[in-house]
Amino acid sequence: MLTTGSTPALRAPADPDDRRALGWSPWRTVIGFGVVSLAADMVYEGARSVYGPLLASLGASALIVGLITGAGEAAALALRLVSGPLADRTRRYWTLTTVGYALTAVCVPLLAVTPRLGAAGLVAAAVLIVIERLGKAVRSPAKSVLLADAAGAVGMGRGMGVHKALDQVGAFAGPLLLAALTAAAGGLLWPGLAGLAVPGALAMVLLLLLRRRAGIAHPRDVAVDNRDRRDDPARRASLPASFGWFAVACALCTAGLMTFGLIGFHLAQTGLVPAAGVPLLYAVAMVAAAVAALATGAAYDRIGARVLLVLPVLVAVVPPLAFTNGLAVAAGGVLVWGAALGVQDSTVKAFVADLVPRARRGTAYGVFAAVQATGALVGGVAAGALYDSSRAGLFAAVAAAQAAAMLILVRVLAGARHR
């Protein structure tokens, strides 16, 4: 396994008696980021669990659901091509992280008003969904750099895995909270969406505490070492070719792993699950994601990046399971979908951090996400169209994409072992 750029940028204490200067330990910082993500995930994962039923109630077809949710995921990924290099250039990692979380905390509760806007409700919901995903794009590269600095001191795979597991606790609790509020409101979605303002506010408070106490140097406070100076050649170096190929492979996986919005649409439209029950299945998927993140993160630290070969296999089996007309099989597909998502959001990020120098991590995360954005948009639109016209065609297209992803991954991992 590559270890390039794994040196953490933890703040050196200026005064042993100054607790603020000492900051938190790496593990405590990792857990702090996890708790912030837990609260924020209650907000946006709770909302994502009902995007399909919500958009359908506003008049959207399967194609429109796929287009809106696919565009949202593409926006969450594509803008990182700007926000990633911006984070490295300005070194305002904390500022970008805070702004991104704030957009999520504001936009999701506003979805509660869309059912009351009549014909404009669908347009308003689409705009809010995309803006919330833009918040993800703004914060993700900067947050990933800060997190990788702490995780590098405790084991990149384990650190990313523990963070993702805590993240998934929120992703589990959010849909459950939304399901309970929806059931209490007689099946209406808007009270639950409005209630997500509470964990959103909590996430912002926790983030401000983390920024104050974390043992990661504020980008304007200190230059950790010569590699972090603005004139450092590492900041101008090209990203390695292996990184580019890895990004392409993961884009193919992203294209095949359609959004839960379309899966939720299928579950609701076929009558397999009532609207209030869709978030419950999403919550179970988040548990699968947490388990997968912990398991593959630990395996990554032990056996290296070849554990990522499991990702195309997981993605390939999701459509034929999730888009059946039997609840048990469809639920199995949702579990596999969650497991694949957990690998993508934890162990994949660990390998990206190890593929590139630390000074280029923000840029690398941005470029990586932009390549994935193409996969998310193409995959979302194609899945929505094929869902209506040919389920067999959808299954075959996903399988072909994952076969190509597997071949590229094998090539990348062979080169990594050689290096």
Q: What is the pLDDT of residue 12?
A: 39
All residue ranges of the chain with pLDDT < 70 are 1-23, 215-237, 276, 416-419
Q: What is the pLDDT of residue 105?
A: 93
In a domain, 141, yes or no: yes
Q: What is the pLDDT of residue 11?
A: 43
> What is the total count of domains within the chain?
1
Q: What digits encode the pLDDT tens for the residues 334-371?
A: 999 999 988 987 788 888 888 888 788 888 888 887 88
In a domain, 79, yes or no: yes
In a domain, 7, yes or no: no
In a domain, 13, yes or no: no
Q: What is the pLDDT of residue 119?
A: 82
Q: What is the pLDDT of residue 382?
A: 85
In a domain, 412, yes or no: yes
Q: What is the pLDDT of residue 373?
A: 76
In a domain, 190, yes or no: yes
In a domain, 229, yes or no: no
In a domain, 224, yes or no: no
Note down the domain range covering 253.
Answer: 20-217+237-418
CATH number reported for the structural domain that contains residue 176 in this entry: 1.20.1250.20
d(CA 49, CA 278): 7
d(CA 39, CA 48): 15
